[in-house]
Amino acid sequence: MNTFFLYARKSTDEPDRQILSIEAQITELREFAQREHLDIVDTFIESQTAKEPGRPIFNKMLDLVEKGGANGILAWHPDRLARNSVDGGRVIYLTDTRNLTDLKFPTF
């Protein structure tokens, strides 16, 4: 059975363009997880742009994926995970190595 980390992020560089607040993302993600019977083992919340690599909470979450803490990530939309090639490449690498076997996005 897959276990998931829930990841919610709100950008700090475009506050007027935010689609959903972190609280609204978490609510929608938890409802989606319940409907889909997803096992969420931890929640990671970050307020930082994803245009540049180096988000500390995101990196911690991926480090835990590498260590077997969960094999799936649940996020509101793919752009919550990566908007730069370094972070996107790391997610792809984790899927290639089968450390990360499932990505779920209720809006995508």
Q: Tell me which residue range forms the domain holding 79.
A: 3-104
Number of domains in the chain: 1
In this predicted structure, what is the pLDDT of residue 11?
82
Coil/strand/helix, residue 21: coil
Can you give the CATH number for the domain in which 66 is found? 3.40.50.1390
| Predicted TM-score (pTM) of this structure | 0.91
pLDDT along the chain (108 residues), means of 10: 94 63 94 97 94 95 98 95 95 97 94
The DSSP string of 39-87 is: EEEEEEEEES-SSSS--HHHHHHHHHHHTTS-SEEEESSGGGT-SSHHH
Position 108 scores a pLDDT of 83
